C-alpha cells in the first residue's frame, strides 16, 4: 500500500503537562499517502531505451538515402512525445497527503502538483473516520469529518487500500484519545 506511518516515540516530557500541539510537541503519529507508481524511474529509462531501439531499427533500411532525413523528424518526434507524456504523468502523480496527529489536534495537508497545498485541521476528539461503501464518488469513499467540514483522504488509493486505511485511522484516533486522557 502506498502509505507510511511514522510513530514518534516520546519519552516523559521535560516539563509536566500533557504533550500537545499548543506546547510545540511533535505529533504522536504522522501518515504520508501517495499514488501508486506502476512505472518506476528505472522502468522509465528501460522503456525509453527499448522504444528508441525498436523505432530506430527500421531506419537502418534507409540509412544513407535521402528518405532517412524525411523519416527521422517523425521518429524523433514520436520518441520526444512519449518522453514528454510519461514525464507529465509523473508530475501529475506527485500528489502527497500528510496527516499529523496530536492528542489535541489533527492536520491534513494535501500537496498538489499544480496549485497551492490544501489544509484541514480539527480536534481529534470530534473527528470521525467514515467510509462510504457505495454512496460516494468511488467505492469505499473515505472521509474525515470534524471541525464543521468533511474532507476526503486517499482518493488515489484502491478500494481495498481505503478500507484498510479506515481501520488504521480509527486506531490512530483511539491512541490519540488515550494520550489526551493521560
| Residue 47 forms part of a structural domain | yes
| Residue 163 forms part of a structural domain | yes
Residue 148 has a pLDDT of 85
Please list the residues that pair with 150 across neighbouring strands: 145
% of residues, the chain, pLDDT over 90: 59
Q: Is the same domain home to 108 and 174?
A: yes
- For the CA atoms of 173, 177, 180, 182, the dihedral, rounded to the nearest 10 degrees, stands at -130
Q: What is the mean pLDDT of the chain?
A: 87
Tell me which residue of 113, 122, 73, 66 sits closest to 93, measured CA to CA.
113
Residue 94 has a pLDDT of 84
Residue 30 has a pLDDT of 93
Q: Is the same domain home to 53 and 27?
A: no
Q: Is the pLDDT of residue 68 over 80?
A: yes
CATH number at residue 129: 2.30.29
| Residue 157 forms part of a structural domain | yes
| Residue 24 forms part of a structural domain | yes
Q: Is the same domain home to 101 and 169?
A: yes
Q: Is the same domain home to 101 and 114?
A: yes
Residues 6 or more apart in contact with residue 153 via CB below 8 angstroms: 33, 97, 99, 108, 142, 143, 144, 165, 169
Q: Is the same domain home to 30 and 50?
A: no
Q: Is the same domain home to 147 and 113?
A: yes
Q: Is the same domain home to 104 and 150?
A: yes
Q: Is the same domain home to 102 and 163?
A: yes
| Residue 28 forms part of a structural domain | yes
| Residue 13 forms part of a structural domain | no
Higher pLDDT, 100 or 22: 100
> Mean pLDDT across the stretch 154-181?
90
Higher pLDDT, 71 or 135: 71
Please report the beta strands in 8-73, taking only residues with DSSP state E, as ranges in sequence order.
29-33
Q: Is the same domain home to 106 and 174?
A: yes
pLDDT digits 0-9 by tens, 113-123: 888 999 999 99
Higher pLDDT, 162 or 19: 162
pLDDT digits 0-9 by tens, 33-64: 998 888 888 999 999 999 999 998 989 999 99
> Mean pLDDT across the stretch 16-29?
69
- How many domains is the chain built from? 2
Amino acid at each position: 500500500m502506498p502509505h507510511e506511518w511514522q510513530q514518534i516515540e516520546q519519552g516523559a516530557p521535560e516539563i509536566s503537562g500533557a504533550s500537545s500541539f499548543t506546547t510545540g510537541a511533535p505529533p504522536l503519529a504522522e501518515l504520508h499517502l501517495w499514488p501508486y507508481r506502476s512505472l518506476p524511474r528505472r522502468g522509465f529509462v528501460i522503456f525509453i531505451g527499448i522504444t528508441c531501439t525498436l523505432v530506430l531499427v527500421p531506419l537502418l533500411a534507409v540509412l544513407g538515402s535521402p528518405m532517412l532525413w524525411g523519416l527521422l523528424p517523425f521518429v524523433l518526434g514520436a520518441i520526444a512525445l512519449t518522453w514528454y507524456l510519461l514525464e507529465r504523468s509523473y508530475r501529475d502523480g506527485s500528489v502527497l497527503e500528510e496527516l499529523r496527529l496530536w492528542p489535541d489536534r489533527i492536520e491534513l495537508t494535501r500537496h498538489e502538483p499544480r496549485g497551492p497545498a490544501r489544509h484541514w485541521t480539527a480536534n481529534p476528539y470530534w473527528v470521525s473516520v467514515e467510509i462510504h461503501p457505495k454512496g460516494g464518488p468511488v467505492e469505499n469513499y473515505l472521509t474525515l469529518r470534524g471541525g464543521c467540514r468533511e474532507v476526503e483522504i486517499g482518493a488515489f488509493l484502491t478500494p481495498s487500500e481505503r478500507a484498510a486505511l479506515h481501520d488504521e485511522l480509527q486506531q490512530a484516533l483511539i491512541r490519540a484519545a488515550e494520550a489526551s486522557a493521560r
